[in-house]
């Protein structure tokens, strides 16, 4: 295996960028569920405890209450744990107020989609990874953007929707101004500060295993520089059996939620299978089949035990999750910058 340090910038996909609000439950977006529950005489205190408990479903934290009565009411109104978590999340159109790519202003809803990550639902740019029962909407093509074409012969998946760029340096790439809506943070929420967690990941992978991140809090402006690295293997290495070379080509293994093998996706699917085999369900934040049960509060003790006691090494992964024979990695550095309103349209302040 060799590292290609001489590839052009546009021979590597622009990374996926996910913006995850610290606030799991939006005051505005949770009103619908709150109204439903009040019709059944559920008290404000009980409703607030239920909303606060939703964060535990993201982190598999044990809870003393299963909120059985509340979930029964919401299921009667055709909610699932998945749709509850999506319903109460701040909408991307409220989070994103200005977007540009390579200094050209773009409609944010043409760049970002709401997807699942290990942080729950996040607004994400340039994601083309796992298939899910709740499909990520296909974003319209844009003639101003460059799209990545995989030059490796072992790539099966279409990569036409993944964005790349020939430009580098300051002000190139993605620029976003967002509003976490501090007034939308509930007064009863334990979250101590306002902001987002920014996830940087491979656009072909579910954002979990090899994710880079930065925190951005209220009033900050952050420039994140991304450096890609490409790993390549000669095709004749295919003659070596996988357990000797300890890597898979992208077309050698077909996984459940994608037709492009990756170490990260393999590990995610192995983790999902471990949860399903042990607890009989999959946490809401993972891609799933329509027939798969989504974990609820009553499953958190089991999920927590799996998280604590089953490491990557002792999970029974089939196939074995070897590294990729052709791969790319990103590294990042970041700088705090002053926010200069004159660099943006008048409606951005």
* 146 contacts 164 by C-beta, under 8 angstroms: yes
Q: Is the peptide bond before 319 cis (omega within 30 degrees of 0)?
A: yes
Q: Express each pLDDT in 85-142 by its tens digit.
A: 999 999 999 999 999 999 899 999 999 999 999 999 999 999 987 666 555 555 677 7
Please determine, for residue 265, whether its predicted confidence score (pLDDT) is greater than 60. Answer: yes
Q: Which residues contact 9 (CB under 8 A, 6 or more apart)?
A: 164, 165, 166, 167, 168, 228
Please determine, for residue 37, whether its predicted confidence score (pLDDT) is greater than 60. Answer: yes
* pLDDT at 114 (0 to 100): 93
* pLDDT at 216 (0 to 100): 93
* 113 contacts 207 by C-beta, under 8 angstroms: no
Q: Which burial class, exposed, middle or buried, applies to 90 when counting CB atoms under 10 A from its CB (0-12, 13-18, 19+)?
A: buried
* pLDDT at 7 (0 to 100): 66
- What average pLDDT does this structure show over 215-242? 89
Q: Which residue has the higher pLDDT, 72 or 142?
A: 72
* pLDDT at 121 (0 to 100): 94
Cβ count near 1 (within 10 Å): 15
Q: What is the pTM of this model?
A: 0.90
Q: Express each pLDDT in 158-210 by its tens digit.
A: 455 899 888 888 778 999 999 999 999 998 888 888 999 999 999 988 888 88
């Amino acid at each position: 295996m060799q590292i290609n340090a001489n590839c052009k910038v546009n021979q590597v996909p622009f990374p996926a960028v996910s913006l995850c609000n610290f606030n799991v439950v939006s005051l505005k977006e949770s009103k619908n569920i709150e109204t439903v529950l009040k019709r059944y005489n559920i008290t404000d205190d009980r409703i607030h405890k239920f909303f606060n408990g939703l964060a535990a479903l993201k982190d598999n934290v044990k809870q003393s209450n299963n909120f059985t009565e509340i979930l029964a009411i919401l299921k009667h109104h055709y909610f699932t744990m998945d749709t509850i978590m999506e319903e109460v999340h701040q909408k991307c159109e409220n989070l994103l107020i200005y977007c540009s790519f390579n200094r050209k202003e773009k409609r944010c809803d043409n760049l970002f989609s709401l997807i699942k990550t290990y942080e729950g639902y996040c607004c994400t740019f340039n994601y083309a990874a796992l298939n899910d029962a709740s499909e990520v909407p296909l974003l319209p093509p844009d003639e101003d953007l460059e799209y990545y074409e995989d030059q490796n012969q072992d790539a099966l998946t279409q990569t036409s929707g993944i964005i790349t760029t020939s430009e580098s340096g300051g002000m190139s790439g993605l620029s976003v101004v967002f509003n976490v809506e501090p007034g939308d943070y509930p007064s009863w929420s334990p979250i101590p500060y306002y902001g987002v967690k920014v996830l940087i990941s491979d656009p072909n992978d579910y954002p979990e295993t090899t994710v880079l991140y930065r925190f951005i809090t209220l009033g900050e402006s952050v420039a994140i520089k991304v450096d890609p690295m490409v790993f390549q293997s000669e095709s004749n290495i295919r003659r070596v059996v996988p357990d000797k070379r300890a890597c898979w080509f992208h077309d050698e293994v077909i996984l459940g939620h994608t037709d492009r093998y990756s170490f990260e996706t393999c590990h995610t699917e192995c983790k999902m299978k471990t949860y399903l085999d042990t607890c009989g369900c999959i946490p809401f934040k993972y891609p799933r089949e329509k027939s798969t049960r989504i974990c609820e509060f009553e499953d958190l003790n089991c999920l927590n035990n799996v998280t604590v006691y089953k490491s990557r090494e002792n999970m029974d992964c089939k196939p074995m999750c070897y590294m990729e024979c052709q791969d790319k990695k990103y590294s990042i550095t970041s700088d705090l910058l002053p926010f200069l309103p004159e660099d943006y349209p008048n409606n951005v302040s």
